[in-house]
Structure 1
Amino acid sequence: MGARIVHFDRRDFAKTWLKQWERTVAPTVRRAGLLGLLDGVAAIAFAAGLALSVDAIAQARDPTLFAVWLLVAAAALAVRGGLAMATGVIGAQAASDAKASLRITLARAVFAGPRRPAGEAATALVEGVEALDGHVARFLPTRLSASVLPLLMIAAAAVASPIAAAIMLGTLIPFILAMILTGTAAASEARAQFQALERLSALFLDRVRALPVVLAFQVEGATTVALTRSAAGLAERTIRVLRVAFLSSAALEFFAALSVALVAVYCGFNLLRLLPFPVPEQPDLARAFFVLALAPEVYAPMRRLAAAYHDRQAAEAASESLATFEAPAPAPARARLTAAPSLRFEDVEIRYPDTDAPAVRGFNLVAPAGSVTALVGASGAGKSSILNALLGLAPLTAGVVRVNDNLHTDIELDIAWAGQSPLILPASIADNIALARRDASRAEIAAAAERAGLGPALAARPGGLDFMLDERGSGLSGGERRRLSLARALLKPAPILLLDEPTANLDAEAEAAMVETIREAARGRTTLIATHAETVAALADQVVRL
């Protein structure tokens, strides 16, 4: 009993989250829904125009009258086409904007909130958010028109034939009941399918990460069997979702066809005076044709809603996972740096999760504004960790870091950073340098590359700055990658400069040139340099040995 209660609470919480999220797209969805209502009014006009034009032919009336009513029907049909296209465009745009905003919120929650499995987070950010697309683009706009238009059209049909309207209303009730029953079954299967997808994604990511271990222990067969079993489970769940969708579609089509058939039989037999029972009305051709033309349109909004109902179920299934991501609290406004600041590390300790000893313990440092400080020590002494603490990439477990006598978390830091393993994107060299400042001009990018010593590398490659790199930086040596990273730091006019082993992988001549570049780059900034090289330490105002 306890497990059932927890499951229910989680599902109820997910539905609450989904309703709250729907409010963010409500204005756009409402506009799309209103266009759907106008489409229903145009459908009534189309049926009326078509019925009156047919009646004009049957009664051999003035041909002009026939042309006028036919023109009304054609105009209504054209309006319906335009409204359908506009509804689709507005819904798609609303879904695109909503997904982009939600992905940003979830990404912040992933990095700012409690740690969770990478496979689960990736599935939520990609598949989970994508599952909301049809919900916003199709289901929500259709829901408004489906709740109003059938009754509006039945009311219009009642003006021409109350009995035909009663037939439509009577068949509408089992139609709605069939939607509810099949929708409940589809919801259960959609949740099971999304959970199977999450499990497969997590398993696959875990095995890819552990691939060297899998190969070393020769368990490729067992790993393949586990992945195959998980993939087969997902395939089975997907087939169940499709099976329920096809069954629900068949049930809904049956009641829609039954309604149209009953209206057609009634109108036809009534016109021919062949009904086996008396009725209190005797519609003429125009009224009968109007009701018959309107009968399929009564169920069209409900059929569109039924077609989009699986989007609703997919969204509800995904929301059970998405609702567990806690939105980060809005960051308070922080002061910005306008000049090179002083930096102070007071009894700083840095301990990474799942480690026996801290990487840095009891570290103290005062770096005056505009000074250059070199951190020198053996590998593993904690030089990079100290820089990462200022960047927010290392856990500060004790002590404080102050910037101009303020806690570094209370001020918006503007930092230019050149790390040991610079991020390389599959793009041109110019685009990779411009990551530091997206609004930089071509001339500024070229100047930064030249100052960082990339001139010979650019001259040796076709296209120079336009030479394309892959995500691994193929085509650049280790020293050239570090120069690219330094070019980024030079391009960004930040008051704080952090350099991590800037001269590694360089020969003596290249190192001497790099030292001069660093000297120029550090001018007017507060600079921290983690290095093994004594030549780099020689240009510093103070040297701290770890």
Structure 2
Amino acid sequence: MTAAPIPSDSPAAWLKRAGRPHRRLAAVAALLAVADVLPAIGFAAGLSLAIVNAVPSIVDALPWLGLAVASLLLRGLIGQAAVIVGARTGRAVKIDARTRLLSDLFNRGRRSTQRLTAIVEGVEGLDGYFSRFAPLRMAAALSPLLIIAAAAVASPVSAGVLIFTLFPFICGMILAGTAAARESRRQFEALERLGGLFLDRVRALPAVLAFGAGPATTAEIARGADELEKRTSRVLRIAFISSGVLEFFSALAVALIAVYCGFNLLGLLPFPVPEKLDLARAFFVLALAPEVYQPLRRLAAAYHDRQAAEAAVPALITPEPVALPAPPTGEAAPAILFENVAIAYAADRPPVLNAFTLSVAPGETVALLGASGVGKSSLLHLLLGMAPLSDGEVRIDDIPLSRSAGLAGQVAWAGQAPVVVPGTLAQNIAVADPSACPGRLEMAARAAGLTADLDRPIDERGGGLSGGERRRLGLARAILKRAPILLLDEPTANLDPGSEQAMLAVIRTAAQGRTTLIATHSDAVAGLADRVVRL
């Protein structure tokens, strides 16, 4: 009978794929966990023979005591090596997972408090699974059978008793794992909610203080913390109960072996058995009996690592992108199609834009006009990955934006408040293309109307630039960047009529040969467009 296949979208399948690039390290860790059986058998054999041989002469027992001590030392070394290799496996998987999440966060703009929690807490939840649970899973499957086989050499009846007592032990582990899975998922969801709530309140701290909402915010965070405490307590309660059940069955099995061996040695068994034990074999089997359940107990202790990892997987899943390569220099501007697009920043708030449809031809300049708050800037932010696509689809030359690798390499952007970095004016322009030569930098600055010294220093607050020059800095970056899509957000806002007229020529230069979207309130800027769309 073949095992049922694991669904490709299940947490178990995701964890399997995550560990596949590091399967060699995982295999070494698992083999080391299984190899722990050999020194365990050596210790039991050395101890039993040392006790038997110590009766005639203590000298005869010394070689066997040496075997027992050497087995203990070897077991410690194997255990330490298993821990080190397991930790390396977990670290390698975490690095891969965190790299994918950070790439998704910055390159595709999937920013959310849940995603930030996943990067920190969710990825850490993978560590225990790959460093402890996965190696112990193989050891729990193989090690008990190997130890029972060694015990069968000395006492087949004892080996049969050990096999029989394995069944209730395994059933207890399954029941405990099933109960823990549900509570672990709820605990991680509570952690996500608390992390998101705390991050949102920290971001809005000035507003919270300004409106005197400190006590209400504190109470809200306290309620979230209490919920997390309750979820965590339930997980720990299940863990303690399951641990007690497993310890009971383990102790019961060892007691059965001890009673059988003792009565067999004394000849007091009330039923016939096909063997007669001597002290060496009886002590050997008795020393091995706890080792049969040790791998299973270790797996049970690490079982919560599996539940924590599977609970974190849904937050770690990132859709596989379809590559959307950045076009080479000189490639024609793309067409942009918005199909019933909706943008909603929160599920409990109405969308800022709903059922919006617009087709922009290659190289066309479209001005988006409308009152503040109707979604003009949000539409541009959607293309930049800074706003969520709640419904509908955006297509760039028939390639869906939701399944692409993002548009960062294809978009030149000029916003209302360009970011300024400490350095010279030339260095600030070069932010758009660090590989640009001095000639291209000077050309972009001249086209944007920045004719002053490009080597003049600018601080992080924009000291040394006027308001108009900051707008020109954003346009100079847009001109410098070789991108077929141009997005402008209120490029002439708060400028006097004379400065606005001077800026129009710069905008016209920047938009040449590109598909351009301009969010503006200005009729003069809208006059540059091939088409005006009112929202």
TM-score of the pair, normalised by structure 2: 0.65
CA shift for structure 1 position 447? 8.1
Residue 88 in structure 1 maps to residue 84 in structure 2: no
1:350–1:358 contact (8 Å) kept in structure 2: yes
Please give the per-residue CA displacement for 1:174-233, whole angstroms capped at 9, x wherever unaligned: 332332333333234324434444554566677778889978987765555454334323
CA shift for structure 1 position 541? 12
CA pair 103-219 structure 1, distance change in 2 beyond 3 A: closer
Q: Residue type of the partner of 1:420? A: Q
How many residues align structurally?
A: 501
Residue 25 in structure 1 maps to residue 18 in structure 2: yes
**What is the alpha-carbon distance in structure 2 between the residues aligned to residue 214 and residue 147 of structure 1?**
55
CA pair 425-22 structure 1, distance change in 2 beyond 3 A: farther
Pick from 120, 132, 147: which aligns with 1:153?
Answer: 147
Residue 420 in structure 1 maps to residue 416 in structure 2: yes
**What is the alpha-carbon distance in structure 2 between the residues aligned to residue 515 and residue 39 of structure 1?**
71
Please give the per-residue CA displacement for 1:226-274, whole angstroms capped at 9, x wherever unaligned: 543343232122222222222322333344345456656766787xx55
CA shift for structure 1 position 172? 3.0
Q: Is 247-256 or 22-31 further displaced after alignment?
A: 22-31
Pick from 136, 139, 142: which aligns with 2:136?
Answer: 142
Secondary structure of 2:413's aligned partner? strand
2:334–2:484 contact (8 Å) kept in structure 1: no
Q: Is 497-506 or 290-299 further displaced after alignment?
A: 497-506
Q: Is 293-302 or 328-337 further displaced after alignment?
A: 328-337
Secondary structure of 2:178's aligned partner? helix
CA shift for structure 1 position 302? 1.0
CA pair 458-261 structure 1, distance change in 2 beyond 3 A: farther
State the match for 2:3 in structure 1. Answer: none
Sequence identity, in percent? Answer: 41
Secondary structure of 1:336's aligned partner? coil
Q: What does 1:45-84 align with in structure 2 at a 5 Å threshold?
A: 45-48=39-42, 51-52=45-46, 55=49, 58=54, 60-61=59-60, 74-75=73-74, 77-84=76-83
Residue ranges of structure 2 left out of the alignment (5+ in a row): 1-5, 345-349
2:431–2:477 contact (8 Å) kept in structure 1: yes
State the match for 1:282 in structure 2. Answer: 277
CA pair 304-92 structure 1, distance change in 2 beyond 3 A: farther
2:136–2:298 contact (8 Å) kept in structure 1: yes
Secondary structure of 2:10's aligned partner? helix
Q: Is 494-503 or 84-93 further displaced after alignment?
A: 494-503
2:333–2:363 contact (8 Å) kept in structure 1: yes
Q: Residue type of the partner of 1:18? A: P
**What is the alpha-carbon distance in structure 2 between the residues aligned to residue 426 and residue 298 of structure 1?**
65
Pick from 10, 35, 41: which aligns with 2:35?
Answer: 41
CA shift for structure 1 position 48? 1.7
2:371–2:521 contact (8 Å) kept in structure 1: no
**What is the alpha-carbon distance in structure 2 between the residues aligned to residue 260 and residue 239 of structure 1?**
31
**What is the alpha-carbon distance in structure 1 between the residues aligned to residue 444 and residue 72 of structure 2?**
67
CA shift for structure 1 position 303? 1.6
Residue 179 in structure 1 maps to residue 170 in structure 2: no
**What is the alpha-carbon distance in structure 2 between the residues aligned to residue 339 and residue 283 of structure 1?**
90
CA pair 36-291 structure 1, distance change in 2 beyond 3 A: farther
State the match for 1:338 in structure 2. Answer: 329
1:48–1:290 contact (8 Å) kept in structure 2: no
1:182–1:244 contact (8 Å) kept in structure 2: yes
CA shift for structure 1 position 339? 0.3
Q: What does 1:94-133 align with in structure 2 at a 5 Å threshold?
A: 94-98=93-97, 100-101=99-100, 127-128=121-122, 130-133=124-127
Cα RMSD, aligned residues only: 6.2
State the match for 2:347 in structure 1. Answer: none
1:30–1:141 contact (8 Å) kept in structure 2: no
CA pair 425-274 structure 1, distance change in 2 beyond 3 A: farther
Please give the per-residue CA displacement for 1:310-363, whole angstroms capped at 9, x wherever unaligned: 1233344445x559x7x6575376783430635789999998675899999999
